[in-house]
Structure 1
């Protein structure tokens, strides 16, 4: 009889413990929902994660927590979409304003993305000279290019930029490949063009942007030594292109975020419509 009483007492203690755990988990879920309703989405998600970590056996509460997490993520995506939709026209207006000094070039047969070229740097205006040129495509991806023109080849693969106070920046070294590093001969003279896309030239771009008012020395590297000094007009072109690239990149990132948010919302809505906790 005593043994039976002991078993009943132990069972009662276990049941009480289970009920206590369930109540604690439910209290955290209620707290998470209150945070969600106040728009504190990050805190709500952390609270739901804590339920998973501390109450892994409270399946009923965990299921409700999963539904709440989906509601939170739906609202987060909705907020992201609203933010991008409100800011996109502002950025587009800014891009339109900045692009007025550029020529837009696109070969519809071979190119999916066009490029903006500073009007004073179009190729037809800059034949037979050594200079640093630049451009940016519609997605905000900027490139820098070093152009050499002379009677003899120097076979360069990069450039080093420097100012008189010793500050400098370098591009990556781009081996000759007939593409991003190409050369041709015309009427006895040689033209070499090396293009530095993305990170291959970004340090040099930022150096020019920061030191626009300084005299910038350009050393052609990787082959025979050759030096020029950047013209003010070319420095201005890099600065203008970098400004446009920044805005176009912002627009492209917002476009991607909007697209991702829309897809996420469709997925979450389908999941929530199949549960007992619809989006509120």
Structure 2
């Protein structure tokens, strides 16, 4: 009981102290807290705390104005940081793009980035795994078989020792499972879009230093060893994909921050 009484007296004393403070003093304390949070790196909470000054203490005009100025300062620093990151990102992307051919045909909605080592003219008569990238940073892959017998393959598995990754199945008859033949040569192309690569892209990029193999899975099996330049194409394409997505996000953030800075 004594403990409860003490706690109640403590709450009452705190309330009396709070009641004794003016709206201006309370607003100033909130603003000071916002400054401290910002210095500690908690930018989001700092902005939310500054916002509360206008909501809770509308009568403290000077502090309300100061809180608005504080937010503009924070947004200004965020804008500078975002622009600096974007400049660095653009410089890195310029180097990466040297490895790609940019292409947009009448059938393409978005610009395509084709790795120079995987252009059709170089690889039309080879069995290999191709990676595709568009200007949004979206990636998909295809398994391309070239040989004398039909495989009717529906998936691929990439592996080295116990490490492996396998695509989802794209059944024969699907528009994404294409067959053609010319002069007794069979050509099959299976495309894995919308996540059907099932982690194969990341697997190849992460293990590009290993002796990766791939097996085309169908009525027959067909094995290939991934060329070093194909593995490097995956590494560089994934890096450019991440950069393109980050760029789009930064540009959106910058536009939003510019409107807040005024």
TM over 0.5: yes
Q: 1:225 aligns with which of 221, 244, 258?
A: 221
Please tell me whether residue 243 in structure 1 is matched to residue 239 in structure 2.
yes
> The residue matched to 2:190 in structure 1 has which SS?
strand
* Per-residue CA distance 1:199-253 (angstroms, 9 max, x = gap): 3336212221222222212122355332222122211222222232232232222
1:101 aligns with 2:103: no
Alignment of 1:172-183 (within 5 A): 172-176=168-172, 179-183=175-179
Q: Any conservation in 2 of the 1:32–1:44 contact (CA below 8 Å)?
A: no
Equivalent position SS for 2:168: coil
Aligned length: 245
Give the Cα–Cα distance (whole angstroms) in 2 for the partners of residues 225 and 94 of structure 1.
Answer: 40
Q: TM-score, normalised by structure 1?
A: 0.70
Answer with 23-32 or 138-147: which moved more: 23-32
Relative contact order, higher structure (CA 8 A, sep 6+): 1
Conservation of the 8 A alpha-carbon contact between 1:173 and 1:222: no
| Residue of 24, 40, 44 corresponding to 1:42 | 44
**Distance across 1 between alignment mates of 2:31 and 2:57:** 17
Match of 1:157 among 144, 154, 157: 154
Q: 1:179 and 1:29, CA in 2 relative to 1: closer, same or farther beyond 3 A?
A: farther
Post-superposition offset of 1:114 = 1.3
Question: What CA RMSD, in Å, does the superposition of the two structures yield over aligned residues?
Answer: 3.7
Partner of 1:9: none
Q: Which residue of 2 aligns with 1:208?
A: 204
1:81 aligns with 2:79: yes
2:109 alignment partner in structure 1 = 112
Q: Structure 1 stretch 86-95 or stretch 192-201: which is displaced more?
A: 192-201
Judged with a 3 Å threshold, the aligned counterparts in structure 2 of structure 1 residues 206 and 31 are, in CA distance, closer, same or farther, namely same
State how far apart, in whole Å, the 2-side matches of 1:69 and 1:148 are: 64
Q: Which runs of 5+ in 2 are unaligned?
A: 1-14
Change (3 A) 1:59 1:239: closer
Q: 1:152 to 1:85 in 2, by over 3 A?
A: same
Cα distance change, pair 160–34 in 1 and its aligned pair in 2 (3 A): same
| TM-score between both structures, scaled by the size of structure 2 | 0.74
d(CA) in 1 for partners of 2:251 and 2:179? Answer: 38
Query: What's 2:144 paired with?
Result: 147
Report the Cα distance in structure 1 between the residues aligned to 2:61 and 2:195, rounded to whole angstroms: 46
Match of 2:254 in 1: 258
Counterpart Cα distance in 2 of 1:71 and 1:77: 10
Task: Name the larger-Rg structure.
Answer: 1
1:37-70, CA deviations, whole angstroms, 9 ceiling, x for partnerless residues?
5645434346468899xxx9x6857999998887
Work out whether residues 121 and 234 of structure 1, in 8 Å CA contact, stay in contact via their aligned partners in 2.
yes
Structure-2 residue corresponding to 1:170: 166
User: How many Å separate the matches in 2 of 1:72 and 1:224?
Assistant: 68
Tell me how far apart the structure 2 counterparts of residues 255 and 135 of structure 1 sit (CA, whole Å): 24
Three-state SS of the structure 2 residue aligned to 1:194 is: strand
